[in-house]
Structure 1
Amino acid sequence: MSLLLPPALHRELWRHARQEAPRECVGALGGVRLHGGWEARTLYPLPNIDPQPERAYLADPGHLLRALRAMEAEGLELVGLYHSHPRGPARPSLSDQALAAYPVPYLIADVAGGTLRAYRLPGGEEVEIG
């Protein structure tokens, strides 16, 4: 399984992660499913409404719903969710695994280490980012 993340979206994701630090950022990726994976075509930054945003993330449900509707209107679907770990690591935490609700890659940006990784959660299978 792999996720194609075009360079412009890669840069936008990192800009969002760095801009929000030391808070965790969160967002959604719209795109298309491909044989053996996904291709991201647009990025939707979302507000993190977790009471402790320096330690966890919770996407604002209203904004997430609007992003999903925008994807549908554009003929896209949810192909990934992302968030940052400002102090690292780029591995899913127990709460990341517990919150996983969609069958798409979850990308984690380790701001301190400069690493971006993706996983199928809650199982934790790593997904290649191309």
Structure 2
Amino acid sequence: MPVLLSSALHHQLLAEAAAAFPHECCGLLFGSPDRIDAAQPCANVADDPARTFEIDPAALIAAERVARSGGKRLVGYYHSHPNGRAEPSPRDASDAARDDRLWLIVAGDGITAWQASAHGALHGVFDPVEILLPAS
């Protein structure tokens, strides 16, 4: 199933990745399985943010609590690959929960979408998801 990403969010994620370079940016995605309505930047608390990412656990816990109380629905995560390809790495696969949530990966001027599942086609975890961008 494709996922709709607004032009504004597309530009936001590209700008955030460029600003974080040479480190990886990261954050949370809110909406529904077929539409991303908001992206919340989070601190990358990884030991080596130039090579990996870790979303600040406090931000993740807070988002889960808001969602459980009827607030914005957490549908996934995003991060950048400053010196890589816009697809999940083997490390991303080893760190990913197989929870059917979306992962957006920003590299250069591209963004790709993936769904983390129990038996994905890439690294046994991720399946590609088409991103739909509305006309500007």
TM-score range normalised by the length of the shorter chain? 0.7 to 0.9
User: Is 1:86 aligned to 2:82, yes or no?
Assistant: yes
Instruction: String of CA shifts for 1:18-76, please: whole Å, max 9, x gaps.
Output: 1111000111111124xxxx211111101101100000001110012223344556743
Q: Which segments of 5 or more consecutive residues in structure 2 lack a partner in the other structure?
A: 121-125
User: Is 1:104 aligned to 2:106, yes or no?
Assistant: no
- 1:44–1:67 Cα contact (<8 Å) kept: no
TM-score normalised over the length of structure 1:
0.86
| Aligned-partner Cα distance in 1 for 2:104–2:72 | 18
Query: Which contiguous aligned blocks of 4+ residues in structure 1 show a shift greater than 6 angstroms?
Result: none
| Aligned-partner Cα distance in 1 for 2:66–2:53 | 22
| Aligned-partner Cα distance in 1 for 2:49–2:61 | 20
Match of 1:48 among 44, 55, 64: 44
User: Is 1:120 aligned to 2:115, yes or no?
Assistant: yes
| Aligned-partner Cα distance in 1 for 2:16–2:22 | 12
| Aligned-partner Cα distance in 2 for 1:95–1:126 | 17
TM-score normalised over the length of structure 2:
0.82
2:131 matched residue in structure 1:
129
2:72 matched residue in structure 1:
76
**C-alpha RMSD of matched pairs (Å):** 1.7
**Residue type matched to 1:19 in 2?**
A
Q: How many residues align?
A: 124
Over the matched positions of the two proteins, sequence identity in percent amounts to 37
1:27 matched residue in structure 2:
27
- 2:63–2:74 Cα contact (<8 Å) kept: no
| Aligned-partner Cα distance in 2 for 1:39–1:115 | 18
- 1:39–1:79 Cα contact (<8 Å) kept: no
